[in-house]
Amino acid sequence: MSDQDDLLRRAEDVLPGGVLGSHRSGPGLEFVVREGRGAYLWDMSGRRYLDYLLGSGPMLLGHAHPAVVEAVERQLARGTSYFLLNEPAIQLAEEIVRAVPCAEQVRYTSSGSEATFFALRVARAFRKRDKIMKFEGGFHGTHDYALMSVVPRSPKAFPAPMTDSAGVPHAIEDEVLVAPYNDLATAEALIAAHHDQLAAVLLEPYQRTIVPAPGFLQGLRAATRRYEVPLVFDEIVTGFRFAYGGAQEYYGVVPDLAAYGKVVAGGFPLACIAGPKAIMRHFDAALEGTPEYVWQAGTFNGNAIACAAGLATLAELRKPDAYPRLFRTGTRLRDGLAAAVRKHDLAARVTGEPPVFDIFFTDREIVDYRATLTADRERIKRFNQELVRRRVVKAVNKIYVSLAHTDADVEETLEIFDQALAAIAAQA
């Protein structure tokens, strides 16, 4: 038995399902990562993979980027985590405030799920209301408020939510309204009807790989401002990926609060909430014991290692050619995948912005979650598996692009996209 096979067997014994979360490569295709460098992963058998999973998104610079490694090694000699103020944490917060249009202050968490959870908690404290409105198909982490109508197979009529996970209290359903993404009229009507109860409207400005329709985000901003309901952007994916100022800069719409993660810490566990002082003041410990106080703390929040990695990552992203190069690479990959779809005469749509996009096997335009339900789930599963067989790894429903991907990597990937789609076309 190989080292890899042995490790996979051992993982089955000690990890539920034998995996770390929910990502699976497929029967006979699972592997254990030995190392990652640049745009590549190597498994325990020494096989190299082109990586478009990128740790589920954070490795925008690629794996083991020298500037990040150097910053982390330098900080390691000084200690890792203090649960106290440290210079990297202050410097990173300052940089986020400079970059993010809605940010005057930052509150650290250790994960994106925590960031969206506490963004909603502080919005409820500020607004003194309980209900939130989210959008069907939007993923905001794994806390109870977030796991509503993310992947419903038989969706209810709006605005009724559907719980996505066992163990979520049914009482939470009464506090969540669900709207259709890219349907401004329905969203505006729900906000108008329920604004007296709403604490916040939460959304991914770019939902999974669905681009916001012209005027959609602007209309939401106007409607929430009209009724003084905080608008919360989940920028865990888009933050520092679409532009240095995130989706707020890229789409030109500024929310009241935003949650950041993934790229912001260069591959280490760190996330944050960013917003104006008028809302962020509720986190101030000076308010403890009053009805205004939002209790929020975490052992590793603002730890010096993650903050040092984040600072090094953001320094690389401030270089003049960083975003133009990222978009050039992503555009070639996205458009090349679409060309391969046409070549093989498949019913499929390639959707999304160049830094992160994906394919849906349907002839319907992908404008909202319900459109994605028309896609052939078996075909996307087969496509992902055909890629892994050819040593290309992607997320279940995303292709993440990094600054480490070279022109040669793009050419190799496009050839493999073509081979994978040929295999699917041959099966039809």
Instruction: Tell me phi and psi for residue 51, to 5 degrees.
Output: -105, 115
Is it the case that residue 224 has pLDDT exceeding 80?
A: yes
Considering the domain architecture, whether residues 161 and 244 belong to the same structural domain is answered as yes
Q: Which pLDDT score is estimated for 148? A: 93
Three-class SS of residue 172? helix
Q: Cβ distance 221 to 253 under 8 Å?
A: yes
Is it the case that residue 296 has pLDDT exceeding 90?
A: yes
% pLDDT > 70, the chain: 100
Considering the domain architecture, whether residues 74 and 38 belong to the same structural domain is answered as no
Domain boundary among 258, 282, 317: 317
Considering the domain architecture, whether residues 76 and 15 belong to the same structural domain is answered as no
Mean pLDDT, the chain, integer: 96
Considering the domain architecture, whether residues 235 and 93 belong to the same structural domain is answered as yes
CATH of the domain at 274: 3.40.640.10
Is it the case that residue 211 has pLDDT exceeding 70?
A: yes
Calculate mean pLDDT across residues 147-174.
92
Considering the domain architecture, whether residues 164 and 123 belong to the same structural domain is answered as yes
Considering the domain architecture, whether residues 28 and 104 belong to the same structural domain is answered as no
Domain boundary among 268, 294, 317: 317
**Residues with Cβ within 8 Å of residue 157, at least 6 apart in sequence:** none
Considering the domain architecture, whether residues 218 and 101 belong to the same structural domain is answered as yes
Is it the case that residue 21 has pLDDT exceeding 80?
A: no
For 35, the domain range is 3-64+321-427
Considering the domain architecture, whether residues 384 and 244 belong to the same structural domain is answered as no
Domain boundary among 317, 346, 373: 317
- pTM exceeding the 0.85 threshold for the entire prediction: yes
Considering the domain architecture, whether residues 197 and 251 belong to the same structural domain is answered as yes
Question: How would residue 153 be classed by pLDDT, with cut points 50, 70 and 90?
Answer: confident
Is it the case that residue 196 has pLDDT exceeding 70?
A: yes
Is it the case that residue 294 has pLDDT exceeding 70?
A: yes
% pLDDT > 90, the chain: 93
Task: For 404-422, write each residue's pLDDT tens digit.
Answer: 999 999 999 999 999 999 9
Considering the domain architecture, whether residues 79 and 223 belong to the same structural domain is answered as yes
Judged by average pLDDT, the poorest of 25-29, 235-239, 293-297 is 25-29
Is it the case that residue 131 has pLDDT exceeding 90?
A: yes
Q: Which pLDDT score is estimated for 19? A: 87
CATH of the domain at 415: 3.90.1150.10
Is it the case that residue 1 has pLDDT exceeding 80?
A: no
Q: Which pLDDT score is estimated for 316? A: 98
Considering the domain architecture, whether residues 124 and 91 belong to the same structural domain is answered as yes
Q: Cβ distance 270 to 119 under 8 Å?
A: no
What's the 3-state SS for 45-81?
CCCEEEEECCCCCCCCCCECCHHHHHHHHHHHCCCCC
Question: How would residue 428 be classed by pLDDT, with cut points 50, 70 and 90?
Answer: low
* Nearest residue to 208 (alpha-carbon basis) of 421, 410, 403, 395: 395
Considering the domain architecture, whether residues 56 and 74 belong to the same structural domain is answered as no
Task: For 62-103, write each residue's pLDDT tens digit.
Answer: 999 999 999 999 999 999 999 999 999 999 999 999 999 999
Total structural domains within the chain = 2
Is it the case that residue 24 has pLDDT exceeding 80?
A: no
Task: For 309-364, write each residue's pLDDT tens digit.
Answer: 999 999 999 999 999 999 999 999 999 999 999 999 999 999 999 999 999 999 99
CB atoms within 10 A of CB 28: 8
